[in-house]
Structure 1
């Protein structure tokens, strides 16, 4: 701060030095003026000026030091009271801007809440005709057409489900209930939901659960598995199996989902959980939204579930869910 203060007052400092130098120069040229006393006067003047600068530095930088350390918030109480007209002008303008931003921020939050509520309401309204459509499809006799329609119905259902949970994630802590959850029931429910798609591709499931229970929220775990299984089915080769297995390692349950699809390009691996990222190898795949793994990661983090990925390009990918230990239940229940 002292360097900035010197640069701020540099013109005044140079003016004082120039005046003292001018005084000595005149005394040097004019023999009637004793030179040594003028040197003494100039020295005392500079000494007094230096002390004056130190006093003014402490006084004038107090306001700006607090302003410099002020965090980018709406709280102006940490800023020192102004002690000069210019400081008063600066604080007044800052206060006016802060009040305006607070007002605009409140308005934006209200608008976002309204849009979120409208979207959630629309999603729930769309689910009604979607359920009716499913019942109509179930009554069809043409199995080939029925399978195609169910596949398209499932795509719409999954997209709506993603959108619904995306809006809920920021408020997920209000919708979490940690309890002992049976993995088999949750996994079979999600597999059943993807049945029509799996039948169309000839994909089967090999489920082997050595560890049967975990402490987590059943509904949100189902959503995470839905995203991982959807990806596994989507990118698996036709007539292949998706392997689902669980085991307990050092008090933690690990659930693996392994497919035999195209795998993940090594250069894509650091970005697969980024919002909107699809793939660099299949960049023209317009069906991909890049939201599934992102939403799964965000949901898993809220439940203290770690997601690990192993993949070799052309040989498939393995996604692992590592659940927290039982003694970490307290931290989860405080969500």
Structure 2
């Protein structure tokens, strides 16, 4: 701050030094003016000027020091109390700007809430005809048409489910309920929902759960598993998807392994980006690029780490590393 102050006042300092040098020079070339008293006066003035600079430094930088040390938030209490006219201008400008930002953020938050509520209401309304459509499909006798309709119905159901959870994610902290969750129950439900799709593609499941119970939020954990299973089924050939849980270094690991086409090595670091599908398969219009993105966002809120291993042509393994029980203390205190 001292250096900044000196740089800010450099023109005044240079003017003072120039005047002292000018007076000394005039006394030097004019023999009628005694040089020693002039140098003595210059010395006294320099001392006084240094003391003045120190005083002004503490007086003028107090307000700006508060600005430099304040946190980047909307709290202005730390800078209230400016004394100098220019400081009051800065203070008033900052307060007005922050008031404007708070008002705008509040309006945007209300608009976002309204949009979320309207979309959630629409999704719930759409679920009614979807349920009726499912019952109609079940009554069909033509198995081929029935299988195709079930697949298309499932796609619509999964897309609506993604939208529903996407709108809830910004408020996920208010929706978490950490409890003991049975992995088997969640997996069987999700597999049952994908049953028609799996039968159409000739895909089965090999489940080996050493760890059967974990601590998490059942609804949001099911959402993460749903995205992984949907991806596994979508990109798998006729084979078994292997699901297993085990303990490693006192942590519970849940793995979902498929024998699909695999992921291009250059895409591995980008698969969790919003809207990213593939750099090599641009014709894959079925992919939305949202499933893994949303799964990772939810996983962060649940303190779950998602990792992936893949090899082209040999399949992909997604691993969920669930947190220790004591790591949920912060979540429960929200």
- TM above 0.5, yes or no, is yes
Contact 1:62 1:80 (8 Å CA) reproduced:
no
Moved over 6 A (4+): none
Query: For the residues of structure 1 that align with 2:249 and 2:29, how far apart are their CA atoms?
Result: 92
Size of the alignment, in residue pairs?
Answer: 334
1:40-69 superposed Cα distances (whole Å, 9 cap, x missing partner): 111111111111111101100111111122
- TM-score with structure 2 length normalisation? 0.93
> Does the CA-based 8 Å contact 2:240-2:258 persist in structure 1?
yes
TM-aligned CA deviation for residue 299 of structure 1? 2.0
Paired position in structure 2 for 1:100: 100
Q: Secondary structure at the match of 1:263?
A: coil
Show the 5 A alignment for 1:150-165. Answer: 150-165=150-165
Q: Does 1:277 align with 2:276?
A: yes
Question: What is the rounded CA distance, in whole Å, between the counterparts of 1:138 and 1:103 in structure 2?
Answer: 52
Partner of 2:288: 289
Structure 1-normalised TM-score?
Answer: 0.93
What is the alpha-carbon root mean square deviation over aligned residues?
1.9
Q: Distance in 2 between matches of 1:51 and 1:334?
A: 54
Deviation (angstroms), 1:27: 1.3
Give the distance between the partners of 2:117 and 2:256, measured in 1 at CA. Answer: 34
In the other structure, the counterpart of 1:221 is: 221
2:256 aligned residue: 257
Provide, for residues 92-114 of structure 1, a one-character-per-residue CA deviation record: whole Å limited to 9, x for no partner.
11111111111111111111111
- With over 3 angstroms needed to count, the CA separation of the structure-2 counterparts of 1:180 and 1:102, relative to structure 1, is closer
Cα offset for 1:163? Answer: 0.9
Shift of the alpha carbon at 1:247? 2.6
Distance in 2, matches of 1:334 and 1:74, equals: 24
Q: 2: distance between equivalents of 1:135 and 1:299?
A: 32
SS class of match (2:61): helix
Aligned partners of 1:95, 1:331: CA distance in 2, in Å? 33
Q: What corresponds to 1:70 in structure 2?
A: 70
| Helix, strand or coil at the partner of 1:99 | helix
Of 208-217 and 157-166, deviating more is 208-217
CA distance in 2, matches of 1:322, 1:68: 41
- After TM superposition, give the deviation of residue 334 of structure 1 in Å: 4.3
Helix, strand or coil: the match of 1:207?
Answer: strand
Find the counterpart in structure 2 of residue 304 from structure 1.
303
Secondary structure at 1:242 match in 2: strand
State the Cα deviation string for residues 185-234 of structure 1 (Å, max 9, x = none): 22111111111211222212222223322233322222111100000011
Q: 1:217 to 1:91 in 2, by over 3 A?
A: closer
Match for residue 189 of structure 2? Answer: 189
Range with bigger deviation, 254-263 or 266-275: 266-275
Unmatched segments (≥5 aa) in structure 2:
none
Q: Once the 2 structures are TM-superposed, how far is the Cα of residue 325 of structure 1 from its aligned partner?
A: 3.9
Q: Please give the per-residue CA displacement for 1:13-47, whole angstroms capped at 9, x wherever unaligned.
A: 11111111221122122211111211111111111
Query: Structure 1 stretch 67-76 or stretch 98-107: which is displaced more?
Result: 67-76
Over residues 131-156 of structure 1, what are the superposed CA-to-partner deviations in whole Å (9 max), with x where a residue is unaligned? 11111111112221211111111111
| Distance apart, 1:326 and its partner CA | 5.0
Cα separation, partners in 2 of 1:65 and 1:207, compared to 1, 3 Å: same
Offset of 1:266 from its aligned partner? 2.1
C-alpha change, 1:249 and 1:4, in structure 2 (3 Å) is: closer
